[in-house]
């Protein structure tokens, strides 16, 4: 039942609405709009107004008040724009082998890598995948994340890719966290069929995509462009065809070798994610494009490779989103705020750039215009931290946990 009564939440020592900031380019902390002793007025699941608590209280004397009686900083709910949290099994073997001197490609050739997760995920039914996802979704909410992108890509077969996408849809219906699904059937070529790269892509287009459309399972497609996966030339052809069929496009690009980012630019993808191997040429090209680079510090921490050149990308005029890449192989940690804080330390990113990367810039990377800032008309996805100063949040590098989280104005989390 819809609530016809406005609800006023506050006062917060600081509200960071993350509004009126540029989508592209570098940002300084001095540019952050901050409302001292702020409040949020909500109706149903939408934000009606953000201002000082006193002003909103005076203007709306009849509203219901949700009073905050301790020091809190309020921000938009975080958005994790790249994850693989629909999976079964573990890759602890891979992690130990890497730290014992094996390379990512050596591990893959030895039966580990993505194919190991494919085997384990294929063995799980839809219900099992949903049950495995729900606690991961709980963790996302408890870390202040209110929207999470989730990829398929551990099926690599029509039936198993559909199973994954159906599981993502079912988990979304059973949990407050919003899931945005993406089809990553072009993760790697399956090892158990005699199809080359081009034939497998055609199989996805002919056999899988029509069923996805029929069941409305996703509006997004992704591809892994890499020596161990798909070549730039064939990937471009595949993505153009999907774009012509009405899908939004994102790309795993420049993780180990460059090439993917240029394809993302050529097909006008929403985002290109990873970019650890991007050089000056790729950075300059991205700076001139509207493709949103998505840094995945979890993969750097998991693999021990360089960080995405976030500072150079921003200084070149790019946008920058930051996502966890939570997956069983290269990024098992799954704590977005901790990863974003570490990326900031190594790449010298301002708090404004980091928070933008996990709020409105992440929303843009997913093509979402209804969230990512605290302003009139946006969904009331909110996260409050137990501090009086926003700088404390990143200073604790993910160890300061949200005290309260609201999803669509519903109070989801309240922890001491």
Q: What is the pLDDT of residues 75-96, one digit of tens each?
A: 999 999 999 999 999 999 999 9
SS3 369: coil
Dist. CA 325–CA 303, nearest whole Å: 12
> What pLDDT, on the 0 to 100 scale, is given for residue 356?
98
pLDDT, tens digit (0-9, with 9 covering 90-100), for 31-52:
999 999 999 999 999 999 999 9
Q: Tell me which residue of 340, 353, 356, 358 sits closest to 396, measured CA to CA.
A: 340
Region 403-411: what's the mean pLDDT? 95
What's the confidence (pLDDT) of residue 289?
A: 98
| pTM, to two decimals | 0.97
What is the C-alpha separation between 148 and 132, in angstroms, rounded?
Answer: 15
DSSP label at residue 276: T
Give the pLDDT confidence score for residue 108 in this predicted structure.
81
Q: Is 384 helix (H, G, I), strand (E, B) or coil?
A: strand
Q: Spelled out in words, what is the top-level CATH class assigned to the domain 7-76+371-414?
A: mainly beta
Alpha carbon distance 230, 234 (integer Å):
7
User: In angstroms, what CA-CA distances link 110 with 94, 104, 255?
Assistant: 10, 10, 21
Taking phi over 0 as left and psi of -120 to 50 as alpha, with beta for the rest, 37 belongs to left
Residue 57 has pLDDT above 60, yes or no: yes
- Name the pLDDT band for 412 (thresholds 50, 70, 90): confident
413: confidence class by pLDDT, cuts 50, 70, 90: confident
Tens of pLDDT, residue by residue over 235-245, are 999 999 999 99
What is the average pLDDT across 181-202?
96
- Burial of 415 by CB count in 10 Å (0-12 exposed, 13-18 middle, 19+ buried)? exposed
Using 50, 70 and 90 to split pLDDT, how confident is the model at 4?
Answer: low
Q: How far is CA 277 from the centre of its chain?
A: 20
Q: How many CA atoms lie within 13 A of 346 on its CB side?
A: 15
Whether residue 416 has pLDDT greater than 60: no
Pick the CATH number of 79-365 from 3.30.540.10, 3.40.50.300, 1.10.1670.10, 3.20.20.140: 3.20.20.140
The arithmetic mean of pLDDT across residues 239-260, rounded, is: 98
Average pLDDT of the chain, as a whole number: 96
Burial of residue 347, with CB atoms counted within 10 A of its CB: 0-12 exposed, 13-18 middle, 19 or more buried: buried
| Tens digits of residue pLDDT in 6-29 | 999 999 999 999 999 999 999 999
Residue 109 pLDDT level (bands cut at 50, 70, 90): confident
Which residues does residue 38 pair with via DSSP β-bridges, in sequence order? 12, 52
Cβ partners under 8 Å of residue 401, min gap 6: 142, 143, 144, 385, 415
pLDDT at residue 415, as a whole number: 61
Which residue from 333, 274, 266 is spatially nearest to 298, judged by alpha carbons?
333
| The predicted structure's pLDDT at residue 292 | 98
Pairwise pLDDT comparison (415 vs 294), residue with the higher score: 294
Q: Domain ranges for the chain, please list them.
A: 7-76+371-414, 79-365
**Inter-residue contact 52 to 93 (CB < 8 Å):** no
| Ramachandran bin of 384, using left for φ above 0, alpha for ψ from -120 to 50, beta for the remaining angles | beta
Beta strand residue intervals within 299-393, DSSP E:
321-322, 382-385
User: Rounded to an integer, what distance in angstroms lies between the CA atom of residue 54 and that of residue 52?
Assistant: 5
User: Looking at per-residue confidence, does 98 or 3 come out higher?
Assistant: 98
**Over 90: is that where the pLDDT of 207 sits?**
yes
Q: Do residues 364 and 23 lie in contact, with contact meaning Cβ atoms separated by under 8 Å?
A: yes
Helices (H), 34-83: 53-59
- Is it the case that residue 1 has pLDDT exceeding 50? no
Instruction: Give residue-wise pLDDT tens across range 299-331.
Output: 999 999 999 999 999 999 999 999 999 999 999
Distance CA 190, CA 196 (A): 9
410-414 and 404-407 as β-strands: parallel, antiparallel, unpaired?
Answer: antiparallel
Percent of the chain residues past pLDDT 90, beyond the cut: 94
**Distance separating alpha carbons of residues 411 and 300, to the nearest angstrom:** 34
């Amino acid at each position: 039942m819809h609530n016809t009564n406005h609800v006023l939440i506050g006062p917060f020592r600081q509200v960071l609405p993350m509004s009126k900031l540029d989508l592209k380019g570098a940002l300084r902390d001095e540019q952050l709009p901050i409302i001292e002793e702020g409040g949020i007025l909500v109706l149903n699941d939408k934000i009606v107004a953000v201002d000082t608590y006193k002003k909103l209280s005076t203007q709306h004397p009849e509203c219901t008040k949700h009073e905050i009686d301790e020091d809190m900083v309020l921000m938009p709910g975080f958005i994790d724009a790249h994850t693989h949290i629909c999976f079964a099994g573990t890759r602890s073997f891979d992690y130990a082998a890497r730290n014992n001197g094996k390379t990512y490609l050596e591990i893959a050739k030895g039966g580990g890598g993505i194919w190991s997760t494919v085997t384990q995920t294929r063995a799980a039914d839809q219900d099992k995948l949903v049950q495995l996802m729900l606690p991961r979704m709980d963790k996302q909410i408890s870390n202040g994340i209110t929207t999470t992108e989730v990829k398929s890509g551990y099926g690599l077969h029509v039936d198993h890719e559909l199973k994954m996408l159906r599981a993502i849809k079912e988990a979304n219906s059973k949990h407050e966290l919003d899931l945005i699904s993406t089809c990553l059937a072009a993760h790697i070529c399956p090892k158990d069929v005699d199809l080359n790269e081009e034939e497998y892509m055609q199989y996805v287009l002919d056999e899988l995509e029509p069923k996805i459309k029929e069941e409305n399972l996703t509006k997004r497609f992704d591809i892994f462009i890499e020596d161990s996966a798909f070549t730039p030339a064939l990937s471009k052809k595949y993505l153009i065809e999907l774009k012509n069929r009405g899908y939004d496009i994102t790309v795993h690009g420049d993780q180990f070798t460059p090439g993917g980012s240029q394809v993302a630019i050529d097909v006008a993808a929403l985002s290109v994610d990873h970019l650890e191997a991007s050089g000056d040429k790729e950075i300059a090209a991205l700076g001139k494009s509207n493709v949103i680079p998505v840094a995945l510090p979890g993969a750097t921490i998991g693999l021990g490779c360089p960080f995405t050149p976030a500072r150079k990308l921003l200084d070149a005029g790019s946008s920058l989103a930051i996502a966890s890449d939570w997956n069983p192989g290269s990024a098992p940690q799954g704590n977005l705020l901790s990863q974003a804080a570490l990326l900031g330390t190594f790449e010298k990113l301002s708090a404004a750039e980091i928070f933008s990367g996990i709020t409105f810039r992440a929303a843009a990377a997913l093509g979402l215009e209804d969230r990512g800032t605290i302003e009139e008309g946006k969904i009331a996805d909110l996260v409050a931290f137990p501090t009086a100063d926003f700088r404390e949040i990143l200073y604790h590098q993910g160890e300061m946990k949200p005290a309260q989280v609201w999803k669509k104005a519903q109070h989801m989390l309240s922890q001491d």
